[in-house]
Amino acid sequence: MLNINKTLAEKDLVVALEGRLDTMTAPDLESQLQGSLSGVEHLEFDLQKLEYISSAGLRVLLSAQKTMNKQGDMIVKNASEEVKEIFEVTGFTDILTIE
């Protein structure tokens, strides 16, 4: 189960994720992002309540990063130790801006 809470202010979009971002929920996030990134210059993922991320979830973040490379910037905030470890093992710490 994944709850997605999007907050758009001007050209800044904050996407707060709660639950599990896995093969079952990644398509939901992907479809919500596709319609939301037009005109966005700053994308922030708040992962404070994200319990787990799978390779499918990582793929969605990577896709969002590629989009934002063309039109602005993207940061990932408040990741748990477990999620940070997944980023480190997969090399995503080199790809994403993680705070």
- Position 45 in a domain: yes
Q: Could you read off the pLDDT of 3-19 as tens digits, one per residue?
A: 999 999 999 999 999 99
- Position 99 in a domain: no
Q: Is the pLDDT of residue 25 over 90?
A: yes
Report the first-to-last Cα separation within the chain, whole angstroms. Answer: 25
In sequence order, what are the beta bridge partners of 3?
18
Q: Could you read off the pLDDT of 44-87 as tens digits, one per residue?
A: 999 999 999 999 999 999 999 999 999 999 999 999 999 999 99
- Structure tokens belonging to residue 70: 């063309």
Return the pLDDT at 54: 96
- Position 84 in a domain: yes
Which parts of the chain fold into alpha helices (H)?
26-34, 55-71, 81-90
Angle, helices 55-71/81-90, rounded to nearest 10 degrees: 80
Q: State how many domains the chain has.
A: 1
- Position 23 in a domain: yes
Q: Is the pLDDT of residue 35 over 90?
A: no
CATH number reported for the structural domain that contains residue 43 in this entry: 3.30.750.24
Cβ(66)–Cβ(38) under 8 Å? no
Return the pLDDT at 2: 97
Provide the residue range defining the domain that includes 64: 2-94
Return the pLDDT at 23: 97
Q: Is the pTM of this model over 0.75?
A: yes
